[in-house]
């Protein structure tokens, strides 16, 4: 086994470094992974650029990365479900205690949860990383490491579509065609949505959305009014959508989401914007439009693996750029500039394949 553990460490706002860290020793219920593929998420870039997201503030050096897959190289003494050599996808949120949220199956809401690359918890953008074996999921042979890493954003979409109640015949509006908007599109279609409208400022992103199965890509301009956009969506579908999945966090887009959704429908808020956002709440209330929040995901990895293994969902086209771990800073800069869709870092020097 290699002896070095090159890691991507954020020291403070704007200060991203590649440095060597000790290879960790797995505890009784943990496994040591040789990381293979780790995607860069918007939150990683946000922490790098701003040093914080809301109340989560970088106060000490933190390893970034939470969209990950790797290979088991060492197994803790009490681990029964995994063995050396297993290829796994990593669920980054691990509850620290068996509280009411854990017991009710909503462990993502546990206030004390461990979560990769959310201060103060280290992520897995490194060569070697240890993780709870219960939150490492074995990948079938026909699912690649990169697909395994993409289960994390895919999980956001599964959780959002579940919260939204997407089902056979649903008509859906998705605001934003970034990585999360695009996986929401894939999942909504897989769950039976009959028609999907997806909006974005970028024509390039909408081209990919069309290729991934969007029925109506809709280019928006910054100056478009929310009520006018809502009317355009209704015009495309012939009726207002049952469900809107808002993936931008932009105030005007949240307003559009509410205006566009049909009475009795559901708006799910996935994108994170300003702490205080002005929305037409009365419009939603009088039309019984439910507004639902989404915080990460829970109980999604087995479903995501089944969807990928059965080829019901194809996430492979989302990966547009690949960089070796040694070029992590360049990869982060590429992401910050908004190039491509999903950028993958390859952490295993001996295997840079998808």
In this predicted model, what pLDDT tens digit does every residue of 313-353 receive, in sequence order?
Answer: 999 999 999 999 999 999 999 999 999 999 999 999 999 99
Q: Which residues 6+ apart lie within 8 Å of 276 measured at CB?
A: none
Residue ranges in the chain modelled with pLDDT below 50 = none
Per-residue pLDDT at 192: 98
Within 13 Å of residue 201, how many CA atoms lie on the same side as its CB? 10
Q: Give ∠ CA 348-351-352 in degrees, rounded to 5.
A: 85
| Helix-strand-coil split of the chain, %, nearest 5 | 30, 25, 40
pTM, entire model = 0.97
Q: Which residues of 268-290 are buried (b: 16+ CB within 10 A; e: fewer)?
A: bbbbbeeeeeebbeeebeebebe
Per-residue pLDDT at 3: 79
DSSP state of 121: B
Per-residue pLDDT at 242: 98
Per-residue pLDDT at 218: 98
């Amino acid at each position: 086994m290699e002896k070095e553990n090159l890691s991507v460490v954020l020291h403070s706002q704007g200060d991203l470094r590649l440095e060597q860290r000790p290879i960790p020793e797995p505890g009784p219920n943990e496994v040591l992974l040789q990381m293979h593929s780790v995607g860069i998420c918007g939150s990683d870039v946000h922490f790098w650029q701003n040093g914080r997201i809301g109340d989560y503030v970088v106060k000490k050096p933190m390893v970034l990365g939470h969209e990950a897959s790797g290979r088991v190289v060492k197994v803790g003494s009490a681990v029964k479900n995994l063995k050396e050599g297993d290829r796994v996808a990593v669920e980054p949120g691990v509850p620290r205690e068996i509280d009411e949220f854990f017991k009710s199956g909503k462990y993502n809401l546990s206030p004390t949860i461990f979560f990769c690359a959310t201060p103060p918890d280290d992520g897995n953008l490194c060569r070697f990383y240890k993780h709870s074996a219960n939150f490492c999921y074995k990948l079938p042979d026909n699912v690649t490491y990169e697909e395994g890493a993409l289960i994390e954003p895919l999980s956001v979409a599964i959780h959002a579509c579940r919260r939204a109640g997407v089902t056979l015949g649903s008509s859906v509006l998705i605001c934003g065609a970034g990585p999360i908007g695009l996986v929401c599109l894939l999942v909504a279609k897989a769950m039976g949505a009959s028609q999907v409208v997806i909006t974005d400022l970028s024509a390039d992103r909408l081209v990919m959305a069309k290729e991934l199965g969007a029925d109506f890509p809709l280019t928006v301009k910054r100056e478009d009014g929310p009520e006018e956009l809502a009317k355009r969506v209704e015009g495309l579908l012939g009726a207002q959508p049952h469900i809107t999945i808002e993936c931008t966090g932009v105030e005007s887009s949240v307003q559009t989401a509410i205006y566009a959704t049909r009475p009795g429908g559901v708006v799910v808020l996935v994108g994170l914007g300003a702490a205080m956002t002005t929305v037409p709440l009365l419009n939603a209330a009088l039309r019984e439009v439910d507004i639902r929040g989404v915080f990460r995901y829970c109980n999604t990895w087995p479903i995501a693996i089944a969807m990928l293994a059965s080829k019901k969902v194809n996430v492979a086209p989302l990966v547009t750029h690949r960089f070796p771990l040694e070029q992590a800073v360049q990869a982060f800069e590429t992401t910050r500039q908004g190039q491509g869709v999903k950028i993958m870092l390859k952490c295993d020097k001996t295997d840079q394949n998808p």
